[in-house]
Amino acid sequence: MLVVLGVVLPAALFAQGQSGAERGAAGQSVEAAIEQWLVSEHDSSELMAATVAAVCDADDGIEVLGALQGQLVDAPSEARSKGLRSLIVQVTLEHLRRMHKSDMRFVGQYHGLRPLQPWLDPFLFGLLLDTPEWYPLTFRARLVPAIRDLIPKLPSAERVAAILSLVNDEREPVDLRRGLASLLWQWGKKSAAERFVRQLQMATTEGDGEDRVHATLQLADYFNALQDYRRAAGAHGAAQALARGAGVELLPVAYYSAACVHALLGDKERGIAALQRCAEMHASPDLDSSRRLKRALFEDDPEIALLRTDDRFSALLKLAFGDQGGNDEENGR
C-alpha cells in the first residue's frame, strides 16, 4: 500500500546493513556508538544523529539497545539513564520515519521495534493520546500501523475510551479516525469500523463515475486495513468494473494494490493479472512521474512475495522498469 510524506531527521552517518559486531563508517561497533553517547554530556545533536544512525542501520542495533532497558528501572534518575531514554526516543522516531518513507505498508512492518518493549507501549500511546507539542498532530495517523503490530491485545479501558473519543470527534482528520477504528476492530471492538465501512459503501453510490470509482478504491483500502482481504478483493474488482463503465482510467497504484490483496489471498493468477496491468501502465512514457511506483515495491514488498515466485514476475519487472536497476528517483517516487 502506498503513501507519501516523510519527516526529515538528521542525516545518517553510519553504513547500512552492518551487524552490531561490525565496524561502521566512523570505526565503531553499534555497542561502542551507544556507549559513546551514554557517557557524553548528551548535548550534541551531531553525536545523537550519529548514534541513532548506527543503531538503526545495524541489523541487530535495536536489539542491542533494547537489552539496556534494565538501566531505566535500576537507576532511572542517573544521567546515563536519561541519555538512554532520549536515545530510545530518537531511535523509535527514526524507525517510524524510515518505515513511513519506504511507502510500503504490511502487517508486521514494525516488529523490528519489539526489543524496545515494554517501554514502547506508553510512549506510543503518549504520542497518540497526549500528543506533545514537538510531535506534529498530522503524524498521529502514522502511529496506527506501529500500534497495530506492537500492541495486538486490547489495551486498558482508559486508553480504549480515549481512542474512541478521537474516533468519534468529527474535528479530527478522517484518516486518523478510520485508522484508529481499524485498531479497535483488531482488538475485537468492531462497531466504529463498521460505521466507516457503511459510510464508504454509501459513497460508492453517489456522485459521478469518477467519484464512485474513488470511493470504491477507498473502500478496498479500508478493507485491507481491516485485514479483510476477501472483501478488499471484491471492492477492487468493483472499482475496475466501474472504471471501465464510466471511462475512468485507474492509476498504476490501484492495480498494484489489487495485486497485493490477491497475493495475500493466495490467488496468484489474479495477482499476476493485476500486476501485469500495473506494469503496462507504468511502462508508458506518458505516465506522469508523480504517479510512478518505486522499483523496491516490486522487489521487496512482502505483500506480493507470492507473485515473485512466479516465472512471469521477472518479465513484469522488466516491463515496468526496464533492464536497469537504477535507483528510486530514476524509477519512480
Q: Are residues 217 and 135 part of one domain?
A: no
pLDDT band at 12 (very low <50, low <70, confident <90, very high): very low
Q: What is the pLDDT of residue 1?
A: 47
User: Is the pLDDT score of 333 beyond 60?
Assistant: no
- Among residues 105, 131, 157, the one where a domain terminates is 105
Q: Assess whether 264 and 166 both reside in one domain.
A: no
Grade residue 325 by pLDDT with cuts at 50, 70 and 90. Answer: low
Residue 8, pLDDT above cutoff 70: no
- In this structure, the answer to whether residues 21 and 101 fall within a common structural domain is yes
Domain residues for the domain of 268 are 251-333
| pLDDT > 90 in the chain, percent | 83
Lowest mean pLDDT among 204-218, 252-266, 283-297: 283-297
Question: What pLDDT score does 324 carry?
Answer: 63
Same domain assignment for residues 227 and 278? no
What pLDDT score was predicted for residue 19? 42
The DSSP secondary-structure symbol of 310 reads S
Instruction: Tell whether the model's pLDDT for residue 188 goes beyond 90.
Output: yes
Q: Which cell goes with 251? A: 492509476
Neighbours of 230 (CB within 10 A): 12
- Residue 316: what pLDDT? 96
Decide which of 233, 249, 265 is a domain's last residue.
Answer: 249
Q: In the predicted model, is pLDDT for residue 314 greater than 50? A: yes
pLDDT of residue 27: 54
pLDDT of 138-160, one tens digit each? 999 999 999 999 999 999 999 99
When pLDDT is cut at 50, 70 and 90, the band that residue 217 belongs to is: very high
Task: Report, as an integer, the average pLDDT of 159-179.
Answer: 98
Are residues 5 and 37 located together in one domain of the fold?
Answer: yes
232 and 318 in one domain?
Answer: no
Side-chain-side CA neighbours of 318 within 13 Å: the count stands at 6
Question: Residues 199-227, buried b or exposed e (16+ Cβ, 10 A)?
Answer: ebeebbeeeeeeebbbbbbbbbbbbbbbe
* 21 lies in the same domain as 67: yes
The confidence score (pLDDT) of residue 28 equals 75
Same domain, 98 and 181: no
Q: Is there a single domain that holds both residue 265 and residue 324? A: yes
> What confidence score (pLDDT) does residue 68 get?
94
Same domain, 29 and 129: no
Instruction: Summarize pLDDT for 19-62 with one digit per residue, the tens.
Output: 443 334 455 799 999 999 999 999 999 999 999 999 999 999 99
Q: Where is average pLDDT lowest: 69-73, 180-184, 188-192, 275-279?
A: 69-73
329 pLDDT higher than 90: no
**Predicted confidence (pLDDT) per residue in 243-289, tens digit:** 999 999 999 999 999 999 999 999 999 999 999 999 999 999 999 99
Whether pLDDT at 323 is above 50: yes
Q: Do 179 and 196 fall into the same domain?
A: no
Residue finishing a domain among 249, 272, 300: 249
Total of domains in the chain = 4
Helices assigned H by DSSP within the chain? 30-38, 45-57, 61-66, 70-74, 79-101, 120-129, 143-150, 157-168, 174-186, 191-203, 209-225, 229-246, 252-264, 268-282, 295-300, 305-308, 313-321, 328-331
